[in-house]
A and B are shown apart, each in its own frame.
Chain A
């Protein structure tokens, strides 16, 4: 990896691919060379399940500002969800 900015973790969820929904088992977030976005680097987000196949992947490339927006959206949704449901992740 060129930037070496990358982190991958197991998670549990579901994602909609081009053909069908599938179970998502891993997320990877990196800041590295973009494949599709017309810029050198991008925030790369993958939701994947390599147990199914290499193409069991939902990929998003974002510029840094857009990734910040996404982060704020996630944070706000989680804050409100936890307040609403009083979830205990302890």
Chain B
């Protein structure tokens, strides 16, 4: 059993607070975010959680709450906020119809969220960018382009490696091409049965990281494909997911300091 699971003292007092907030995002727009953090005044490291393509959804609310129970402030901005509000799947359908959220929009919102987090009295100032699926790709982009983050966690982010025919005005540069600008530690978790990113694409990414002398650790899981943390889908792989969460918490402890 992973050490992160049931590692708390039953005699201790656990309290977190979690709610939807608004913060000044890119361009000064008021954007929603889900914020979960320990309910005390200690200064904590933080995680900026960048949600996946299926949207700003319940999985990400629970991901933030899990991080908070383990001592981190976790903030998940609604990257689709400007597209309107409704059920997450309806919002995501509109985002898809309009060609997807723009990379520069995500980068601007993430930079603003980082600034907001660092201004909070309960934030230690050390912040990681973390995401799954398209959020993993976004975390990598943000960690490469926005100064001030301390670590990046890319969980099965697809389209890190992109062919010229995949580049669009919304996604004009493949994140792998920013590897020379990634000067903070990177954790990558991948399923070997995934098609996006495929093991071959993960190989290419790893080659680029090595070539640039980057601080990274990749963990690749047999018997898992895309989204193996997603307990609400058939993609869930409990053994690989629990080991993956262990890697996440070890990495956060190493790069952000004690929570």
Chain A residues near B (Cβ < 8 Å): 1-4, 6, 8, 26, 28, 30, 32-33, 35, 38-40, 44, 46, 48, 50, 53-55, 57, 59
Q: Which residue of A38, A40, A53, A59 is within 8 Å of B93 (Cβ)?
A: A59
A53 to chain B, nearest CB (A): 7
Q: Which residue of A3, A4, A28, A39 is within 8 Å of B97 (Cβ)?
A: A28
Mark contacts of B161-196 with chain A using CB atoms, 8 A cut-off: 1 yes-contact digit, 0 otherwise. Answer: 000001000000000000000000000000000001
A60 to chain B, nearest CB (A): 11
B254 proximal to A (CB < 8 A): no
Say yes or no: A59-B53 contact (C-beta < 8 A), given A3-B196, A28-B97, A50-B97.
no
A residues in contact with B125, CB < 8 Å: none
B234 proximal to A (CB < 8 A): yes
Which B93-130 residues sit within 8 Å CB-CB of chain A?
93-94, 96-100
CA distance A8 to B226 in the complex (A): 25
**What band does the interface of chain B fall in when counting residues whose beta carbon is under 8 Å from A?**
20 to 34
Q: Find out whether the CB atom of B158 lies under 8 angstroms from the CB atom of A2.
A: yes
A17 to chain B, nearest CB (A): 11
CA distance A46 to B90 in the complex (A): 10
Is chain B's binding surface mostly helix, strand, loop or mixed? loop
Q: Which residue of B54, B86, B94, B98 is within 8 Å of A33 (Cβ)?
A: B54
Q: Find out whether the CB atom of B234 lies under 8 angstroms from the CB atom of A40.
A: yes
A34 to chain B, nearest CB (A): 8
List the B residue with the shortest CB-CB distance to A27: B97
A residues in contact with B147, CB < 8 Å: none
The number of residue pairs between A and B whose CB atoms lie closer than 8 Å in the complex comes to 73
Q: Which residue of A26, A50, A53, A59 is within 8 Å of B89 (Cβ)?
A: A59
Q: Find out whether the CB atom of B85 lies under 8 angstroms from the CB atom of A4.
A: no
A33 to chain B, nearest CB (A): 5
Say yes or no: A55-B226 contact (C-beta < 8 A), given A8-B98, A46-B97.
no
B84 proximal to A (CB < 8 A): yes
Q: Find out whether the CB atom of B227 lies under 8 angstroms from the CB atom of A40.
A: yes
Q: Find out whether the CB atom of B226 lies under 8 angstroms from the CB atom of A54.
A: no
B residues in contact with A46, CB < 8 Å: 93, 96-97
Q: Find out whether the CB atom of B93 lies under 8 angstroms from the CB atom of A1.
A: no
Q: Which residue of B86, B134, B234 is within 8 Å of A53 (Cβ)?
A: B86
Which B211-246 residues sit within 8 Å CB-CB of chain A?
225-227, 233-235
A residues in contact with B235, CB < 8 Å: 40
B residues in contact with A35, CB < 8 Å: 54, 89, 92
A residues in contact with B159, CB < 8 Å: 2, 4
Q: Which residue of A28, A53, A54, A55 is within 8 Å of B96 (Cβ)?
A: A28
CA distance A1 to B159 in the complex (A): 9
Pull 29 A–B residue pairs with CB atoms less than 8 Å apart, ordered by A.
Answer: A1-B53, A1-B100, A2-B133, A2-B196, A4-B166, A6-B96, A8-B97, A8-B98, A26-B97, A28-B96, A28-B97, A30-B96, A33-B52, A33-B54, A35-B54, A35-B89, A35-B92, A39-B234, A40-B225, A40-B233, A46-B93, A48-B93, A48-B97, A50-B84, A54-B85, A54-B86, A54-B90, A54-B94, A59-B89
